[in-house]
Amino acid sequence: MLQGKKILLGVSGSIAAYKAASLVRLLIKEGAQVKVVMTAAACDFITPLTLSTLSKQEVLRDINDNQSWNNHVMLGRWADVMLIAPASANTIAKMAQGLCDNLLQAVYLSATCPVLFAPAMDEDMWHHPSTRANVEKLLSYGHRMLPVESGELASGLTGEGRMAEPEHILEFLQQHFTAPATAALPLKGKLALVTAGPTVEPIDPVRFISNRSSGKMGIAVADALALAGATVKLVLGPTRYAPTVPGVETIHVKTAADMFNSCIANYPMSDIVVMAAAVADYRPKTVVDTKIKKGAEDGLTLELEKTHDILRTLGNNKGQDQLLVGFSLETNNEKEYALKKLHEKNLDLVVLNSLKDDGAGFDHDTNKVTLFDRLGRETALPLKTKLEVAQDIVSAIIELQNG
């Protein structure tokens, strides 16, 4: 998707600047042309030599280096996209206020291309009202923000504020460059409800029953729906992944009961519903308040009870104008079970996964699926990235919506 794309990477002063090396390497590997502009503070964290070697381009730092003049206007016009990663709190503030005291800011103010930015700072700085106001101002300019991630920070604390990982930035860029295919925003005005990730069913305060779902596929569907213009609510089970398209509203849940309640609450007003979550079919009938200690007996017996069948409940209550999509992850008799789910649960579309396919299934970045719709059509897709699969699913949804 990035073959031949011209990407202008701005690197500001943040410890996360070290990730720029991996990011440039990924972009070059994808066939993009990359030019790097660094602030003076960024050079304290990573050398220009490293980024110039990886990008195969001179790294630009100054408007005037006493030998030549770097034309910030032409740089801003050269790029297909300007990506500022990391975008420190200081750089975000300068962008919001239109300050122009270094080459990066001059190029930013001259850019005629779309601007993306990936914030990177400590949690308290990220949540400060001035930072929040500056970010909102940048979003009001039409810029797109890569969501911050959670984890260990440079301060030694753990929380929000980490710059998105290079692999996630790459996915975001891929989504950005596929957006023109949905430039007409065919789902504008539609409300989409998506579920993703696993659920966890507690046994005691420290143990639970769950599954291997990462949530990547459902999150990709939520992103693809948002790119097509839909207003998206994502009901997300416990996972370290998050949507990359700004504006996707995320409702975090843990148990199957939590997910059921969130779906029931949001279902009546939803036009499109995509149930991609791996919801536990069973939960412990009794949850113990204290940790179960290892006893003298040889084993432990757990009595399980069924959880709500969310998909069947929604199918039984589907309105005439609602479109319902389910997923079917199978290990045998794949087509038979997928079609059974399609008809028994009143679906408009079912997405079949097989764990027998290499590169498909849990926690992969790729997937191989077959689509079955209510009109009897079967569409087998080759192994693709989950982003591409999500776009295929959204295309099928749009086709069904159009009759």
Known binding site for CTP: residues? 281, 291, 327, 341, 345
Specify binding-site residues: 281, 291, 327, 341, 345
- Give the separation between CA 299 and CA 281, rounded to whole angstroms: 23
Give yes or no: 70 in active site: no
> Could you say which of 211, 261, 266, 346 is catalytic?
211
Tell me how crowded residue 51 is: count the other CB atoms within 10 A of its CB: 27
Provide Rg for the chain, Cα atoms: 24
* Sequence-separated (6 or more) residues with CB below 8 Å from residue 6: 32, 33, 35, 78, 79, 80, 81
Residue 399: strand pairing partners: none
- Give the separation between CA 334 and CA 328, rounded to whole angstroms: 8
Closest C-alpha to 39, from 80, 95, 81, 111 = 95
**Amino acid identity of 6?**
K
The residue written with tokens 């990982």 in the block is 165
The DSSP code for 154 is T
On the 0-12 / 13-18 / 19+ scale of CB atoms within 10 A, 261 is middle
Maximum Cα–Cα distance across the chain = 81
Would strands 323-330 and 272-275 be described as parallel, antiparallel, or unpaired?
parallel
Residue 55 contacts residue 49 (beta carbons within 8 Å): no
* Residues acting as catalytic residues: 211
